[in-house]
Structure 1
Amino acid sequence: MIDVHELTKRYGDKTAVDRLSFTVQPGQVTGFLGPNGAGKSTTMRMIIGLDAPTSGTVTVGGRRYAEHAAPLQEIGTLLEARSVHPGRTAFAHLMALARTHGIPRSRVDEVIELAGLGSVAHKRAGAFSLGMGQRLGIAAALLGDPEIVMLDEPVNGLDPEGVLWVRQLLSGLAAEGRTVMLSSHLMSETALIADHLVIIGRGRLLANTTVDAFIENAGGRGVKVATAEGERLRLLLSGPDVTITSTTAEELVVSGLDSRQIGAIAVEHGVPLYELTPQTVSLEEAFMELTSDAVEYHSAPADTARRRAA
């Protein structure tokens, strides 16, 4: 378990993390999300003692990270995949880490195979592609067979097979009862992997909830209904709390009634339906709505950028 309590980090007059509190529970994958500049990297660095908090506390498995005699066996982390001496081979890098914790060579061989590095284990890391560097970083995080795993952008640079491998790996670790914390900008991938979400903006907590509850609370876009009797159905569904818009003569988008209610009304009045589909928001849309006021860097619209370039 990772327990963050009233964590604050200031750099001069800038507050990077502001009284942040949350808990990463075992047995699930927790997505740690936020816009650029939200304080995610600073928070993760404080979790493993690379940065000292201005105030507040953070514990890993019930202790501060620095109090663990063998931290690699408590929490495995990937914060920067390229933090490897370019002249060392993948095998040599992992063996150097293993020796600091009394980890046997057999475990090094295991994580090399687990990460798909067998064919490049004795090649220098400086020649690795971004994806292979990510695999080496994940292998290092898993080296101590830790109960807690914290990864920052683990699928960055991976091909589809690698992305699927990371997805299955993290889900498997959580299923074993381990604590998994994942930071990513890929909302579609986070939606597939994560069970729980911790979302921050400008260093403050914005949401701490399950993925399903977060999307549900963000609301939907109504229910899409297709029928040859669009105008008749519109009249049947109309009410003071119901909004109906049309995309075509045979398609309606209904807000204020759910699919079950719409279907029951249609059956009662003999209106045939060809489609009845809830139009839910995606994790990305819900995230963008929540963090719209917490984005530190705003891009110019594409047409504005083109005009400036001209």
Structure 2
Amino acid sequence: MIEVREVTKRYGAKTVVDRLSFTAKPGQVTGFLGPNGAGKSTTMRMIVGLDAPSSGDVLVNGKPYASSKAPLREIGVLLEAKAAHPGRTAVSHLLSLARTHGIPRSRVDEVLDLAGLSAVAHKRVGAFSLGMGQRLGIAAALLGDPAVVMLDEPVNGLDPEGVLWVRKLLTGLAAEGRTVMLSSHLMSEVSLIADHLVIVGRGRLLADTTVADLVTAEGVRVVTPAPDALRTTIAGPGVTVTSTGAEELLVAGASARVIGLAAAARGIPLFELTPQNASLEEAFMDLTRDAVEYEASR
């Protein structure tokens, strides 16, 4: 578990993180989101002791990370895609980490295979692509078989197969009861992976919620050869019906179940009955609109 409790971080007169509190729990993937400059990277650095809070506490599995006697077994971290000496091979990089914790060579081979790097294990890291560097960073994060995994932008540079691999890996780790914390700007991926969302802006907590609770329903798309008949059938207080095509309607104020049952009772055929939700990206943009530090001109 990761616990961030009333944490503030200042650099001189600038407050980067402002009284931030949240918990990433075991058995869940927590999506950690925010615009550039929101304080995400600083928060993650404080979690693993690379930066010290100006005030407040950060705990990993109930204690400060710096006090752990076997930190690689407590939390696996990816903060920088190619945080390895470019002259080292992938296997030598992982072996150097493993020896600090008495981790056997067999585990190094396991994570290389898991990350799809066995074929390039003896290739120098400096020749790796960004995607290969990401895979090596994830392999290093998993080396100690940690109870907590925290990854910053893990799918950057990965091809579609790699993105799918990361998705399955993280959901699998959470299913095993581990705590998984993921920071990413790819909202489509976060919406597929995350159980829990923590959204920050200008260093402050904006939302601590789920994808389902953040993304609100916009209505139900209905395709029918009898739109006028259906419109009359479902008319009522609070129900709004908008025509979006010759046979298409967007219905707000009535669920897909209610619409389907009403159409069935009147013998009105339906070709499509699809709830329409705002995307996570749209909800995120709406929530963080006033917390964007770097905004392009329109």
Aligned residue in 1 for 2:229: 232
- Say yes or no: does 1:241 pair with 2:238: yes
- Say yes or no: does 1:17 pair with 2:17: yes
Q: Helix, strand or coil for the counterpart of 2:100?
A: helix
- Say yes or no: does 1:299 pair with 2:282: no
Distance 1:170 1:98 in 2: 22
- Say yes or no: does 1:289 pair with 2:286: yes
Distance 1:92 1:274 in 2: 59
Distance 1:237 1:123 in 2: 65
**Structure 1, 154-163 or 271-280: larger mean CA deviation:** 271-280
Aligned residue in 1 for 2:218: 221
In the alignment, residue 185 of structure 1 is paired with which amino acid?
A: H
Distance 1:36 1:193 in 2: 21
Aligned residue in 2 for 1:108: 108
Q: Helix, strand or coil for the counterpart of 1:122?
A: coil
**Structure 1, 285-294 or 14-23: larger mean CA deviation:** 285-294
Distance 1:198 1:156 in 2: 20
Q: Deviations over 1:62-121 (max 9, x none)?
A: 110110011111111000012211111111111111122222222212211111111111
Aligned residue in 1 for 2:250: 253
Aligned residue in 2 for 1:196: 196
Count of residues in Structure 1 that have an aligned counterpart in Structure 2: 298
Distance 2:148 2:224 in 1: 52
Change beyond 3 A, Cα 1:268–1:105: closer
Q: CA deviation at 1:267?
A: 3.0
Q: Deviations over 1:137-159 (max 9, x none)?
A: 01111111111110001111111
**Structure 1, 90-99 or 265-274: larger mean CA deviation:** 265-274
TM-score, normalised to structure 2, is: 0.95
- Say yes or no: does 1:280 pair with 2:277: yes
After superposition, residues 27-176 of structure 1 pair within 5 angstroms as 27-176=27-176
Distance 1:72 1:173 in 2: 16
In the alignment, residue 133 of structure 2 is paired with which amino acid?
A: G
Distance 2:101 2:133 in 1: 22
Distance 2:264 2:232 in 1: 15
Whether the 8 Å contact between 1:231 and 1:249 is mirrored in structure 2 is no
Distance 2:254 2:108 in 1: 57
Aligned residue in 1 for 2:3: 3
In the alignment, residue 176 of structure 2 is paired with which amino acid?
A: E
Structure 1 residue runs without a partner (length 5+): 302-310
**Structure 1, 101-110 or 121-130: larger mean CA deviation:** 101-110
Distance 2:233 2:110 in 1: 64
Q: CA deviation at 1:213?
A: 2.4
In the alignment, residue 141 of structure 1 is paired with which amino acid?
A: A
Distance 1:175 1:212 in 2: 19
Distance 1:12 1:243 in 2: 54
Q: CA deviation at 1:242?
A: 2.0
TM-score, normalised to structure 1, is: 0.92
**Structure 1, 237-246 or 59-68: larger mean CA deviation:** 237-246
In the alignment, residue 228 of structure 1 is paired with which amino acid?
A: P
In the alignment, residue 186 of structure 2 is paired with which amino acid?
A: L
What is the root-mean-square deviation in Å for CA atoms of aligned residues? 1.4
Distance 2:210 2:178 in 1: 17
Distance 2:145 2:267 in 1: 61
> Share of identical aligned residues, percent?
73
In the alignment, residue 51 of structure 2 is paired with which amino acid?
A: D
Distance 2:258 2:188 in 1: 30
Distance 2:94 2:292 in 1: 38
Distance 1:227 1:175 in 2: 41
Q: CA deviation at 1:191?
A: 1.4
- Say yes or no: does 1:264 pair with 2:261: yes
Distance 1:112 1:267 in 2: 56
Distance 1:98 1:262 in 2: 59
Distance 1:248 1:167 in 2: 36
**Structure 1, 144-153 or 275-284: larger mean CA deviation:** 275-284
**Structure 1, 34-43 or 235-244: larger mean CA deviation:** 235-244
Q: Helix, strand or coil for the counterpart of 1:144?
A: coil
Distance 1:225 1:113 in 2: 47
Q: CA deviation at 1:228?
A: 2.4
